[in-house]
Amino acid sequence: MSLTGAMNAAISGLRAAARGSEIVSNNISNALTPSYGRREVALSALGHGASGGVRIDGINRHMNDGVLADRRLAEAAQQHTQTAVDFFHQLEDISGLAGNPDGLSGRLAAFEESLITAASRPDSIERLQNTVAQAQQLIRGIGIAAQNVQEMRTRADTNIAREVATLNTALEQVEQLNIQIVSSHARGGSSPALLDQRQKVLDTIGSIVPTNVVPRDDGAIAIYTEGGAILLDITAAKIGFDQQNIVTEFQTLDAGTLSGLTLNGQGIRTSALAGGSLGGHFAVRDEHGVEAQTNLDALARDLVERFSDPALDPSRGAGDPALFTDSGNAFAPHDEVGLSRRLMLNAAVDPKAGGDAWRLRDGLGAISPGDVGDATLLNNLRSALDTLRPTASGHFGSGPQSIAKLFSSFTGILASSRGSAEQDLSYSSARLAELTQQQLSDGVDTDQELQNLLLLERAYAANARVIQAADAMLETLTRL
């Protein structure tokens, strides 16, 4: 090999070692960056006649696509179950756990106790007024729970709109990154930074909607949902959604009063994009929230109808509202939706509405106070709470139940739903943590990178010595 060939080979080695050191430094500094793929310099022998050297063919990016795909699906499942857990936790906090005096069951128990206390001293106006106050607290508790259910449904609708916007933006970004990556490949270059950026965007998409990423020619990809919808194949799909400012109990997806999703202007089943955080928000708005509202309305209906028996209070006229009313009127069975927020105490016993508390003792239709020692009506009202009767609506089963059992069933349904959601969340979180750890372990190994750096330093020093030796030889030859 000529001196010139030796120097050229050594210079190419210096260049390769320097480039390798730069890549190793980047790997170490990004060891904990989630979307970063470990880099490696691709080298090949360079030979021209008697000379040689090393050629830098490009930068290879290493990523375990199988683990990455599984991790994205696990994150989507974790996000989906997290929304359900948050909903049930918040509703439980509002409606109260068993034994909580501020919960629905606690308010019902306080109302029942006030009836017992008033019946023991029917002449005490203070005890009668306390019974009215406890009835108002019970009504207020049911109304607050129903109000919060609709507020959570409204927030879910807002979150759906936000995530649809994020999803559309991310899909457009992947489309543009595909173009840049394909262009880089066409020029014979590599694009690890673009691949990192695309992976970061894909991670965002994957937490919203569980996806399958399919490779295409020249580094491009296509994106399909687990439900079979095409989100991107050459061009990005456009997902549509119409947000509501306020969601009420009268609005549901099945009734067509709430928006579903469209894909490129065509209606699409929400299940096609279910499984991630987007599907979780749809579940809160259209399933969990609707079921909770239905059960609260059923509680309110049972409370109204228990005190509507004409034999309970002979002073009431036919068709007159009972102790608990629908916005002051008699309840109509066909108008149950939203009753939990319209529930009111009969104005005849409410001093704040111009009524008198003594009508709890003497009858809602009584014109003047009767025998102050007669506790018959108060005892009848107390007995009505324990009467076993079948529920006309809700998800409480078909067997006859007392009002206390009905309220307890409502709390139990929430606890069971929350427990089931937490169990799913525990599993999905553990799976996500394991796959995340596996992805990191398949990524940058800092110990290995430091070893590589030592080898590169030695290679650099060796090539430098070749150049020094060739320079000395040239200097000797020039002196001849």
What does the angle CA 75 – CA 148 – CA 396 come to, to the nearest 5 degrees?
85
Beta bridge partners of 268: 261
pLDDT exceeds cutoff 70 at 49: no
Other C-beta atoms closer than 10 Å to the C-beta of 85 total: 20
Classify each residue of 112-140 as buried b or exposed e, where b means 16 or more C-beta atoms within 10 Å of its C-beta.
bebbebbbeebeebebbbbbbbbbbbbbe
pLDDT exceeds cutoff 70 at 47: no
pLDDT exceeds cutoff 90 at 27: no
DSSP state at residue 389 = B
pTM: 0.86
Helix, strand, coil percentages, rounded to 5, for the chain: 60, 10, 30
Q: What are phi and psi of 66, to 5 degrees?
A: -65, -45
| Cα gap 90→217, rounded to integer Å | 48
At residue 453, the 3 state secondary structure works out as helix
Hey, what amino acid is at 392? A
| Cα gap 329→332, rounded to integer Å | 9
pLDDT at 32: 76
- Tokens at 141, concatenated: 């508790």
pLDDT at 13: 81
Other C-beta atoms closer than 10 Å to the C-beta of 100 total: 15
- Tokens at 15, concatenated: 């260049």
- Tokens at 336, concatenated: 């149950």
pLDDT band at 480 (very low <50, low <70, confident <90, very high): low
335-376, pLDDT tens digit by residue? Answer: 999 999 999 999 999 999 999 999 999 999 999 999 999 999
Lowest mean pLDDT among 114-128, 303-317, 436-450: 436-450
DSSP notation for 134-151? HHHHHHHHHHHHHHHHHH
| Cα gap 67→442, rounded to integer Å | 9
| Cα gap 53→374, rounded to integer Å | 111
pLDDT at 442: 74
Whether the CB-CB separation of 105 and 235 falls below 8 Å is answered with: no
pLDDT at 51: 63
pLDDT band at 39 (very low <50, low <70, confident <90, very high): confident
201-233, pLDDT tens digit by residue? Answer: 999 999 999 999 999 988 899 999 988 899 999
415-425, pLDDT tens digit by residue? Answer: 999 999 999 99
| Cα gap 277→163, rounded to integer Å | 8
Scan for tokens 């009506």, then name that residue: 377
Of residues 253 and 43, the one with the higher pLDDT is 253
151-166, pLDDT tens digit by residue? Answer: 999 999 999 999 999 9
Of residues 43 and 384, the one with the higher pLDDT is 384
Scan for tokens 């030979």, then name that residue: 47
Mean pLDDT of the chain: 89
276-326, pLDDT tens digit by residue? Answer: 999 999 999 999 999 999 999 999 999 999 999 888 998 988 889 999 999
**Section 442-448 average pLDDT:** 76
Non-local CB neighbours of 422 within 8 Å, separated by 6+ positions: 85
List the chain domain ranges.
3-63+443-479, 70-168+186-211+235-431
